[in-house]
Amino acid sequence: MGGLWNDMAQIGYAKLSMPLAWLGLLSYSLQIYFDFNGYSLMAIGLGKMLGFDFPQNFNFPYISKSVSEYWKRWHITLSTWFKDYLYIPLGGNRKGKLRTFLNMFIVWSVTGLWHGASWNFVFWGIYFFVLLSLEKLFLKKWLEKNIILSRIYTILAILLGWMIFAITELKDIGIYFGRLFSLNITNDWVYYLRNYGIVLAIGILLSTPFLKKWYDRQENKVLCNLLLLLIFLLSIAYLVDAAYNPFLYFRF
């Protein structure tokens, strides 16, 4: 999945067709989720081996029906830290609407800067501040009336947020945004879908709780655990054979 996103920059954002631009953005969204959630789960597992219980950090965020719900499921420990040590000390939502929105603006601006001293991270934080403010004002009540539209809105909002997060140059963000909504529908995406389609499909499936619910329903988990062990060994073999590839989120 990371290879597909890297190809977007090598091709040149201005040359992307509309389908390929969306395909690349989908791949980045899945890559950063599995990258970050993966080593969060490893930390939790290693902690249990040493007798520590670390909190859950992700709860299938991509199935959210609003951006507000998404941020209750994504990077839970960071969201909780900012809530407990910045938002609430600033007054939270206890001092009127204007103060609430000001506090939200401060928190999300700091959240953006926490990821790096770059304008794209600042705009990324402000972007989510705007969406969360709109949901608090009226949008969330409207979204609750239509589950299908709420899911479409949320996944589009998340994908566009990752575009701002991933591309450091503001000019390139504008170019990529333009490609996402252009009328350029060439067949360049077919080649990449053929090469990455199966991986993307598996990624989409694993980003939902479907397999977890199936596993929890099994009375005899021996075969399931053997299958998981096989997948684990194959993953280790792939990592050993592959070139060095550090975790994507480590730089943050």
Active site residues: 115
Element (H, E) at 161: helix 147-166
CA 112 – CA 132 distance, rounded (Å) = 15
Three-state DSSP class for residue 237: helix
CA 187 – CA 208 distance, rounded (Å) = 29
DSSP 8-state code for residue 126: H
Task: For residue 150, give every residue at least 6 positions away whose Cβ sits within 8 Å of its Cβ, in sequence order, or none.
Answer: 65, 66, 143, 144
The answer to whether 87 and 132 are in contact (CB under 8 A) is no
